[in-house]
């Protein structure tokens, strides 16, 4: 039994503790917004927050989450109100959309640590997230837009 | 299974000849039980297969093309909503079930490919909207006892001269009783409110909160998970397997041989994957165990020394070449490439005695249904495909053998329960159906005034169509049109020209990959024309211009890209600019790349991409496709290849098959030529020019020519 909290909800999972957190979220908890892309921490599609840190859930055993707080894309906001979600919509960022949960979770951490990120900061924070459709230029714009919204106090 | 009814070019000739006024007789497929069953309770008016209007004013557009990022769930509803005069805020979408009424009007089957969604839907969806509008007007006219001709529509409502108003929701029930019109008037494009505007995508919200359902996310009661151990080498067959350890692992339900390998079925994906690692399988891999791509390329080089099948021949290229004042010969090499969609392949199947329900992200519904039906032992009508969002497609999910669907039906048959087969990234990358490796040997010459006088291209590579249901497209030709597209119609005015094709007999499964043949012909032709310009000591942009007198649309994009990129303006030291222009999928694209090379490391700083895709629907989506196309092309140019040694693929995942990342991504600027020409494609045309523009920029920066992809400065000449 592994106990932790997901998006502020307490969960107890009867699952092999070596199971990657990604598959526990997707298959045991039905939270399919977090995606599988590579299984070896190369693409970032599975990015979630563990006690506020961005981690690749495809290589993190679920036991690592024990007693901790996990935030997934479903917990970013309940109503699309997060500045990043609003900026993503305004810039029409997603194409196929598959990698975007991971992109958003990486960007959310960046903005928390650096509310006014430079292009270099964005490079550093986002380079672990692959997008095959090539939405990088729009992700960059959307992060700057979200930072602007937060600076103007438009954040939630 | 019949092939496409008409070749694309024949179709274009046909449709141009057919022309079109505003009043066009037509027949639209009616709604049927299936679609009606999917309808929500509020729905009462479904005038044809493409639109439903509810009493709640909601307009649902049923889209017969798959959404794989290219924006069809927005662009196609825009076409319909335009003629319907719908309130855009009330418009939604739904994926079409598999049914002949949703066939591609030209290809004769339900398919998303060939950058054809918008042009094939351009009139079909407009007419569907116009027909619905006519019935809503008729219903209002009846209620008001008015002449329909005196009524107008705006933003989801019918209005009369006194501004009496009935919304489409209020009219839905009455409209359902009206007779569908046999002909409809389409709007004058000058009055378009939606078409041509950068309307926001309809699918963004659910793609930023994790709610969008991709095939891999499908859940159903009692569903099991499966992975398949497939042969380590193409063509290998299984001799025997030992599952004694795997069978007793947690969650494992069944381990069974299927035609593609050994299926491990468990309660969850992770359990199935862990059990798969405990299998011992004895393969007979004698078919290809000595295969290597370096040897194959050596063979291609040899093949290219002899004349190939004639594709195109003008003038006397051999004599012109031998008499040229200056000449050059170059060999260009291209590797196998996987599509590497972010969402690995997967397919969920619920197979019952008299039905088969399939959930997957596919580009090929009609073919998949036919292939699945054969395995299920059911008539195709008993097989239904629910098309989910596709986490990228790029051609891979349009497989002539429906490999990932057929396999899942086999697994479902073996386990007797609903099951989802999921491919790991390694499975997906090593699973075949790649962009074929190619070699182009090109010889060309110029006269003493620097005019290009001869060009001969010889291509060697595997055919995509051969051995598939699409072989009919080769129609007696000795070559595969998908191998030579983009060089068979070389636009440059060179009087002596030959294009020849050699087939390569290699057993690696190959398939269409975003921009298909153009992905290599664009590079070879645009790099070689650059080499000829250098030979003639002319500016590569002006050299191209002079050779395009009869191609105004090529010229227009070339000029636009050059102008916006500041062609000819000084650059900082160490930087170079390269240019390329190419026609593909009925659209014209030119790109200028700005590049620097430091210590052998290439940095692409900026790409300017200009397109003429005819009459366009959504400039926002077009910009996104050009941005994405350039990044897709740059990834292939800079990083990507698949290589084989001793029959084994050397690349398995993103650490050995890199993608362009945020920190490597150039600034990308896109420009669209205003045009009233027939709509062309946009998903693929933005890919071919990127690699040659980068390679030509590297030459400008370093004086070194790139003749092999991916680019390695150590191999530059």
Range of the domain at A135: 83-151
**CB contact set of B212 (below 8 Å; sequence gap of 6+):** A97, B203, B206, B389
Which pLDDT belongs to residue B477?
79
Residue at token pair 């924006």: B71
pLDDT for the residue numbered B44 = 85
**Do residue A62 and residue A44 come from a single domain?**
yes
A 10 A CB-CB count for B136 gives 29
CA-nearest of B549, B360, B344, B368 to B428 is B344
Which of B68, B621, B662 is nearest residue A126 as measured by Cβ atoms? B662
DSSP state, B353?
S
**Are A32 and B216 inside 8 Å of each other by CB?**
yes
In the structure encoding, which two tokens stand for residue B181, read together?
């019109």
Decide if B628 and A135 are in contact by the 8 Å CB cutoff.
Answer: yes
> Nearest Cα to B463, choosing from B447, B484, B445?
B484
- Clarify whether residues B615 and B697 are in a common domain: yes
Cα B306 to chain center, whole Å? Answer: 33
The total number of structural domains in chain A stands at: 2
Confidence (pLDDT) at B28? 67
Class of residue A106 by CB neighbours under 10 A (exposed 0-12, middle 13-18, buried 19+) = buried
Domain CATH for B40? 3.30.365.10
* Eight-state DSSP code of residue B715: G
Q: Is residue B428 part of a domain?
A: no
**Domain limits for position B556:** 293-337+434-715
- Helix (H) or strand (E) holding B300, with range, is helix B293-303
3-class state of residue B380 by DSSP: helix
B200:A92 CB<8 A: yes
Q: Alpha-carbon distance B545 to B567, whole Å?
A: 13
Answer for the pair A104, A94: CB distance below 8 angstroms, yes or no.
Answer: no
In this structure, the answer to whether residues B223 and B253 fall within a common structural domain is yes
- Tell me the pLDDT tens digit for each residue of A72-120: 999 999 999 999 999 999 999 999 999 999 999 999 999 999 999 999 9
* Beta-bridge partners for B589: B582, B611
Query: How far A126 CA sits from the closest chain B CA (Å)?
Result: 6
Question: Is there a single domain that holds both residue B326 and residue B297?
Answer: yes
Number of domains in chain B: 3
With an 8 Å Cβ cutoff, are A32 and B210 in contact?
Answer: yes
Rg (CA), chain B: 27
Asked if A92 and A111 sit in the same domain, the reply is yes
Please report whether residue B304 resides in a domain. yes
Q: Which among B207, B392, B667 is the nearest to A132, CB-wise?
A: B392
Contact B638, B690 (CB under 8 A): no
Consecutive H or E run containing B541:
helix B540-546
Residues A64 and A98 in one domain: no
Residues of A in contact with B390 (CB under 8 A): 96
The DSSP H or E segment spanning B407 is: helix B403-415
- Residues A48 and A16 both lie in one domain: yes
8 A C-beta contact, residue B92 and residue B53: no
Last residue of a domain, one of A47, A76, A105: A76
Which residues fall within 8 angstroms of residue A82, CB to CB, at 6 or more apart?
A: A76, A104, A108, A156
Six-digit token string for B588:
């014209």
C-alpha to C-alpha distance for B327 and B313, rounded to whole angstroms: 19
Q: At B704, list the tokens.
A: 């070194």
Contacts of B427 in chain A (CB under 8 A): none
Residues 38-97 of A with CB under 8 A from B: 38-40, 42-43, 45, 72-74, 76-77, 80, 84-85, 88-89, 92-97
CA–CA separation, B496 and B452 (whole Å): 9
- Residue B472: its pLDDT value, please? 80
Helix H or strand E segment including B535: helix B518-535
Q: Which of these three, A23, A58, A76, is where a domain ends?
A: A76
Domain stops at, among B422, B453, B484: B422
The confidence score (pLDDT) of residue B470 equals: 83
| C-alpha to C-alpha distance for B417 and B456, rounded to whole angstroms | 58
Domain-located, residue B427? no
Please give, rounded to a whole number of angstroms, the shortest distance from the CA of B393 to a CA of chain A. 9
Q: Does A139 touch chain B (CB under 8 A)?
A: yes
Same domain flag for A58 and A101: no
A67 and A104, same domain (yes or no)? no
Residue B623 lies in a domain: yes
Residue reference for tokens 């397997």: B241
The tokens of A153 are what?
């106090």
Q: What is the CATH number of the domain that holds A38?
A: 3.10.20.30
A92–B207 C-beta distance less than 8 A = no
Same structural domain, A10 and A48: yes
Binary contact (B631, A73; C-beta < 8 A): no
Both tokens of B524, joined, read: 């070879």
DSSP secondary structure letters along B124-180: HHHHHHHHHHHHHHHHHHHHHT--GGG-EEETTEEE-TT--EEEHHHHHHHHTTSPP
Q: Which residue of B has its CA nearest to A104?
A: B208
The whole-angstrom separation of Cα A130 and Cα A119 is 17
Residue A155 has a pLDDT of 55
Distance CA B79, CA B618 (A): 10
A123, part of any domain: yes
Residue A50 lies in a domain: yes
Q: What are phi and psi of B434, to 5 degrees?
A: -90, 165
Closest CA to B568 of B576, B580, B558, B556: B576
Following CA atoms B149, B154, B157, B158 in sequence, which dihedral angle do they give, to the nearest 10 degrees?
-10
Q: What's the rounded Cα separation, in Å, for the pair B416 and B437?
A: 40
* Count of Cβ atoms closer than 10 Å to residue A81 Cβ: 11
Residue A58 pLDDT > 80, yes or no? Answer: yes
d(CA B662, CA B646): 35
Residues A42 and A59: beta-carbon distance below 8 Å: no
Ranges of residues in chain B with a pLDDT under 50 are 1-25, 32-41
Q: How much is the pLDDT for B31?
A: 58
**What does the H/E/C string look like for B422-454?**
ECCHHHHHHCCCEECCEEEEEEEEECCCCCEEE
Q: Is the dihedral of CA B398, B404, B407, B409 positive or negative?
A: negative
Is the domain of B398 the same as that of B277? yes
Q: Are residues B441 and B513 in the same domain?
A: yes
Question: The domain that contains A102 carries what CATH number?
Answer: 1.10.150.120
* Contact yes or no for A76/A108 (Cβ under 8 A): yes
Q: Kindly state the DSSP code that residue B709 receives in the 8-state scheme.
A: S
Q: What is the pLDDT of residues A63-84, one digit of tens each?
A: 999 999 999 999 999 999 999 9
Residue to substitute from A49, A73, A96, A117, interface B, most B β-carbons within 10 A: A96
Give residue B388's pLDDT.
98
Q: Are residues A50 and A103 in the same domain?
A: no
Q: For residue B611, which phi and psi values (nearest 5 degrees)? A: -130, 145
Q: Could you tell me where the beta strands, DSSP code E, fall in B539-688?
A: 575-584, 587-598, 601-612, 644-645, 648-649, 667-672
Same domain, A97 and A66: no
DSSP, res B655: T
CB contacts of A134 in chain B (<8 Å) are 627-632, 660, 665
| Residues B198, B261 within the same domain | no
The verdict on residue B208 lying in a domain is: no
Backbone φ, ψ for residue A124 (5° rounding): -65, -45
Q: Which of A61, A76, A91 is the last residue of a domain?
A: A76
As a whole number of angstroms, the distance between CA A70 and CA B293 comes to 46
What is the mean predicted confidence (pLDDT) over A1-29? 97
- Pairing verdict, β B601-612 and B667-672: parallel
Segment (H or E) for A149: helix A136-151
| List of chain B residues whose C-beta atoms are within 8 Å of the C-beta of residue A31 | 210
Say if B209 falls within a structural domain: no
Q: Residue B669 in 3-state DSSP?
A: strand
B374 and B468 part of one domain: no
* Positive/negative CA dihedral, B383, B235, B521, B659: positive
Select from B578, B575, B571, B577 the least CA-distant residue to B598. Answer: B575
User: Does residue A130 belong to any structural domain of this protein?
Assistant: yes
For residue A105, give the nearest of A63, A64, A44 by alpha carbon: A44
* SS3 state of residue B386: strand
Q: How far apart are CA B433 and CA B440, in angstroms?
A: 21
**Alpha carbon distances (Å) from B458 to B294, B330, B463, B584, B611:** 19, 11, 15, 20, 28
Measured in angstroms, the CA of A37 and the nearest CA of chain B are apart by 6
A69 in a structural domain: yes
**pLDDT of the residue at B2:** 34
Domain boundary among B138, B170, B203: B203
Give the separation between CA B70 and CA B345, rounded to whole angstroms.
Answer: 18
Residue with tokens 């002449």: B147
Record: contact B340-A20, CB cut-off 8 A: no
Domain-located, residue B210:
no
């Amino acid at each position: 039994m592994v106990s932790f909290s997901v998006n502020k909800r307490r969960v107890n999972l009867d699952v092999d503790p070596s199971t990657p957190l990604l598959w526990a979220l997707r298959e045991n908890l039905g939270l399919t917004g977090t995606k599988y892309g590579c299984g070896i921490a190369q693409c970032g599609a599975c990015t979630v927050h563990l006690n506020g840190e961005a981690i690749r859930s495809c290589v993190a055993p679920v036991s690592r989450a024990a007693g901790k707080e996990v935030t997934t894309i479903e917990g970013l906001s309940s109503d699309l109100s997060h500045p990043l979600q609003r900026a993503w919509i305004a810039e029409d960022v997603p194409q196929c959309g598959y990698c975007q949960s991971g992109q958003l979770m990486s960007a959310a951490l960046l903005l928390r640590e650096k509310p006014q990120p430079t292009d270099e900061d964005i490079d550093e924070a986002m380079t672990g997230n692959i997008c095959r459709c090539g939405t990088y230029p729009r992700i960059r714009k959307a992060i700057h837009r979200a930072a602007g919204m937060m600076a103007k106090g438009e954040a939630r | 299974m019949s092939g496409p009814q008409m070749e694309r070019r024949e179709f274009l000739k046909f449709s141009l000849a057919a022309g079109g006024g505003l009043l066009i007789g037509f027949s639209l497929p009616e709604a049927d039980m299936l679609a009606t069953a999917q309808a929500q309770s509020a729905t009462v008016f479904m005038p044809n297969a493409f639109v439903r209007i509810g009493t709640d004013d909601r307009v649902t557009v049923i889209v017969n093309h798959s959404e794989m990022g290219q924006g069809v769930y927005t662009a196609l509803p825009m076409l319909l909503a335009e003629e319907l005069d719908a309130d855009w805020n009330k418009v939604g979408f739904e994926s079409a079930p598999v049914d002949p009424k949703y066939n591609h009007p030209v290809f004769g089957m339900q398919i998303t490919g060939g950058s054809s969604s918008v042009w094939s839907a351009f009139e079909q969806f407009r007419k569907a909207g116009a027909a619905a509008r006519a019935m809503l007007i008729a219903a209002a006219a009846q209620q008001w006892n008015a002449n329909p001709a005196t009524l107008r529509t705006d933003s989801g409502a019918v209005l009369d001269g006194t501004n009496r108003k009935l919304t489409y929701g209020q009219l839905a029930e009455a409209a359902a009783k009206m007779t569908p019109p046999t002909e409809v008037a389409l709007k004058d494009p000058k009055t378009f409110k939606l078409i041509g505007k950068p309307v926001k995508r309809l699918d963004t919200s659910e793609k930023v909160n994790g709610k969008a359902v991709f095939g891999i996310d499908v859940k159903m009661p009692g569903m099991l998970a499966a992975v398949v151990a497939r042969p380590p080498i193409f063509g290998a067959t299984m001799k025997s397997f030992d599952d004694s350890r795997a069978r007793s692992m947690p969650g494992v339900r069944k381990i069974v041989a299927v035609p593609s390998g050994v299926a491990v079925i468990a309660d969850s994906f992770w359990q199935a994957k862990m059990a798969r690692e405990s299998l011992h399988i004895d393969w007979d891999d004698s078919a290809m165990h000595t295969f290597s791509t370096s040897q194959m390329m050596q063979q291609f080089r040899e093949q290219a020394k002899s004349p190939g099948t004639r594709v195109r021949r003008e003038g006397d290229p051999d004599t012109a070449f031998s008499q040229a004042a200056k000449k050059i010969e170059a060999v260009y090499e291209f590797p196998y490439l996987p599509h590497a969609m972010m969402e690995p392949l997967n397919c969920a199947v619920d197979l019952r005695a008299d039905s088969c329900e399939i959930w997957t992200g596919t580009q090929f519904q009609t073919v998949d249904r036919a292939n699945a039906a054969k395995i299920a032992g059911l008539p195709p009508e008993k097989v239904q495909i629910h098309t989910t969002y596709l986490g990228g497609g790029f051609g891979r999910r349009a497989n002539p053998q429906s490999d990932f669907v057929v396999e899942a039906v086999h697994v479902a048959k073996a386990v007797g329960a609903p099951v989802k087969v999921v491919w790991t990234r390694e499975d997906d990358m090593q699973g075949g159906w790649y962009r074929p490796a190619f070699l182009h040997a090109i010889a060309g010459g110029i006269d003493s005034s620097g005019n290009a006088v001869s060009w001969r291209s010889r291509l060697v590579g595997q055919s995509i169509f051969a051995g598939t249901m699409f072989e009919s497209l080769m129609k007696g030709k000795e070559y595969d049109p998908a191998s030579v597209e983009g060089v068979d119609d070389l636009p440059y005015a060179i009087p002596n020209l030959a294009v020849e094709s050699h087939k390569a007999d290699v057993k690696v499964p190959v398939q269409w990959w975003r921009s298909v043949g153009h992905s290599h012909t664009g590079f070879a032709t645009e790099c070689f024309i650059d080499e000829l310009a250098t030979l003639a000591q002319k500016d590569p942009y002006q050299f191209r211009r002079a050779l395009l007198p009869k191609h105004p649309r090529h010229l227009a994009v070339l000029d636009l890209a050059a102008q916006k990129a500041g062609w000819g303006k000084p650059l900082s030291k160490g930087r170079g600019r390269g240019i390329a222009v190419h026609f593909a999928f009925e659209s014209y694209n030119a790109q200028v790349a700005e590049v620097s090379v430091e210590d052998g490391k290439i940095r692409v700083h900026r790409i300017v991409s200009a397109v003429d895709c005819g009459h366009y629907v959504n400039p926002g989506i077009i910009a996104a496709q050009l941005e994405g196309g350039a990044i897709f092309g740059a990834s292939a140019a800079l990083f990507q290849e698949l290589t084989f040694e001793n029959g084994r693929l050397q690349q398995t995942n993103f650490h050995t098959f890199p993608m362009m990342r945020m920190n490597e991504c150039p600034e990308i600027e896109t420009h669209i030529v205003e045009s009233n020409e027939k709509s062309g494609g946009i998903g693929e045309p933005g890919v071919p020019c990127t690699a040659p523009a980068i390679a030509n920029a590297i030459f400008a920066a370093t004086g070194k020519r790139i003749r092999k992809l991916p680019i390695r400065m150590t191999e530059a000449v």
